[in-house]
Chains A and B, each alone.
Chain A
Amino acid sequence: AQTVTQSQPEMSVQEAETVTLSCTYDTSESDYYLFWYKQPPSRQMILVIRQEAYKQQNATENRFSVNFQKAAKSFSLKISDSQLGDAAMYFCAYRSGYGGSQGNLIFGKGTKLSVKP
């Protein structure tokens, strides 16, 4: 079974600085997708960034980028120029690329990010 591990329960960053959130996963599959979701106090999960396992290039979305190390099964999220609105819970998630389990996201326990003004 696939597992996702986030080893940092809480992180803190100064506004305008850069922070990296860690995520490791375990799988024997070769076709899969990795995601970072943000969950603010409003509770709604919002997709931050997505990475396809078959792509070697790291995904980037504005201030958010990932460091995808497939062999090490590591998928960290870097937030540059942190803003107060980035404060939230961040969840790393895995989805198999194989039929039958499509739609089944496996989440880590999350990292609570605080942004200091």
Chain B
Amino acid sequence: DAGVTQSPTHLIKTRGQHVTLRCSPISGHKSVSWYQQVLGQGPQFIFQYYEKEERGRGNFPDRFSARQFPNYSSELNVNALLLGDSALYLCASSGQGASTEAFFGQGTRLTVV
């Protein structure tokens, strides 16, 4: 079975541009979460979606938005990119419940120049 897949793997954008990152969860997983990992830090929670509804939002500006599609894949959108948005963006999928394991994708490395 395929694991969590993210695309693209690497991306370079210019300040002020918009970016869309994509995530396909493990088959059967209905929950998708997004994390931002700045170099040298632990991942920080951005969003969680379950059954296409937002279930949680971290402390990120409104420039960050996300959605989940009927097939449970998800997109993370970032508008008006800043240099500080340069990071590894991780997607995780899981089943229902806090005890279930979160499976991570390999991430999208976003560089803003």
Contacts and interface: CB of A to CB of B under 8 A. Distances in A.
A103 B56 contact: yes
Interface residues of A, number: 31
Interface residues of B, number: 30
Nearest to A102: B98
Contact of A50 (B41, B42, B101): B101
Nearest to A110: B42
A52 interface: yes
A52 B88 contact: no
Nearest to B3: A44
B94 interface: yes
Nearest to B33: A103
B111 interface: no
Contacts of A42: 106
B55 A103 contact: yes
Nearest to A9: B40
Contact of B107 (A4, A31, A43): A43
Interface stretch (A12-20, A71-79, A89-97): A89-97
